[in-house]
Amino acid sequence: MLKATDLRLTFNPGTPIETQALRGMTLEIPTGQFVTVIGSNGAGKSTFLNAVSGEQRVDSGTIEIDGIDMTRQPVWARARHVARVFQDPLAGTCEDLTIEENMALAKMRGERRGFSFAVKPALREEFRAQLATLGLGLENRLSDRIGLLSGGQRQAVSLLMAALQPSRLLLLDEHTAALDPRTAAFVLELTVRIVAEHKLTTMMVTHSMRQALDVGQRTVMLHQGRVVLDVSGKEREGLDVHHLLDMFEKVRGEKIDDDALLLG
């Protein structure tokens, strides 16, 4: 379970380009839930995800995962509990390493790395079987450099890698945004399958409202660094993209009114 409480973060405080990226961001994701997060540019989606992964320290507030306080832990220490797939397909894998070496790296996520060989025969067979489920023929290319694969292939392998080791939280950062529509659909389908298979607690940030409603059990909309909409269950089932857009407009409109009141 992820529990983020009253996160606040200001970039460049005290300067003309001061940005309040998170303003009391609070979100709880129960174990096993698949949440999609949407919001316009600058709403704080990526900042929030980076705060949870540890890449971005927050000014105040707490981040707990399954009751463990993670707020001050560095990225590599959180990796024991948090798996992540990046937006940039090149970011989630090491292009200089082979497919099996990348997977071996992920297999040891959050564990002590010792002096035994990273890729052992038994492990290689496991990787081969995993890759075969993709249907991309990658099971025959274990010792190819991963830099030789396409963005979509690398993203698919990244997803497999995220599930090689148990995690308490899976973070997906617009992980289909950089792919062409067909590949994006394939990777999304794979995401749904892997999340269901491993019953992963998942937070997926996306800029596609369609995608946000199509997958997962709950959708959260962020605006100006906090949650402004949180729908799940029956209410969410009846929703369509234009509903979401309407709500979005409403939220924005109200915000502007708020500001107007304040300024007036």
Partner 1 sequence: MRLARAGRGGRSLAGARVVFPPTVFPMSLYTLLGALEIGLIFSLVALGVYISFRLLRFPDLTVDGSFPLGGAVAATMIAAGHDPFTSTLVATLAGAVAGLITGWLNVRLKIMDLLASILMMIALYSINLRIMGKPNVPLITEPTVFNLLQPETLADYVFRPLLLVFVVLAVKLMLDAYFSTQSGLAIRATGSNARMARAQGVNTGLAVLAGMALSNALVGLAGALFAQTQGGADISMGVGTIVIGLAAVIVGESLLPSRKLYLATIAVIVGAIVYRFFIALALNSDFIGLQAQDLNLVTAVLVTVALVVPKLRAHWSGKKGA
Distance CA 39, CA 25 (A): 13
Structural tokens at position 212: 């946000």
- Closest separation in Å from C-beta 180 to partner 1: 23
Give the strand pairing for 34-38 and 202-205.
Answer: parallel
- Complex with partner 1: residue 6 or 55, whichever CB lies closer: 55
- Complex with partner 1: residue 84 or 218, whichever CB lies closer: 84
- Complex with partner 1: residue 111 or 249, whichever CB lies closer: 111
Nearest-5° angle of CA 66, CA 171, CA 75? Answer: 75
Q: Which residues bind partner 1 (CB under 8 A)?
A: 53, 55, 74-77, 79-80, 84, 86, 91-97, 101, 104-106, 108-111, 113-119, 145
- Closest separation in Å from C-beta 106 to partner 1: 6
- Complex with partner 1: residue 77 or 185, whichever CB lies closer: 77
* Residue listed under structure tokens 């995962």: 65
- Complex with partner 1: residue 87 or 191, whichever CB lies closer: 87
* Torsions phi, psi for 38 (to 5 deg): -125, 170
CB 92 within 8 A of CB 86: yes
* Torsions phi, psi for 171 (to 5 deg): -105, 125
- Closest separation in Å from C-beta 77 to partner 1: 8
Distance CA 38, CA 41 (A): 10
- Complex with partner 1: residue 34 or 86, whichever CB lies closer: 86
- Closest separation in Å from C-beta 143 to partner 1: 9
Q: What is the DSSP letter of 204?
A: E
- Complex with partner 1: residue 131 or 209, whichever CB lies closer: 131
- Closest separation in Å from C-beta 173 to partner 1: 10
- Closest separation in Å from C-beta 86 to partner 1: 8
- Closest separation in Å from C-beta 172 to partner 1: 12
Report CA-CA distances (Å) from 223 to 58, 169, 177: 18, 23, 20
Distance CA 185, CA 190 (A): 9
Give the strand pairing for 169-173 and 202-205.
Answer: parallel
Distance CA 108, CA 80 (A): 9
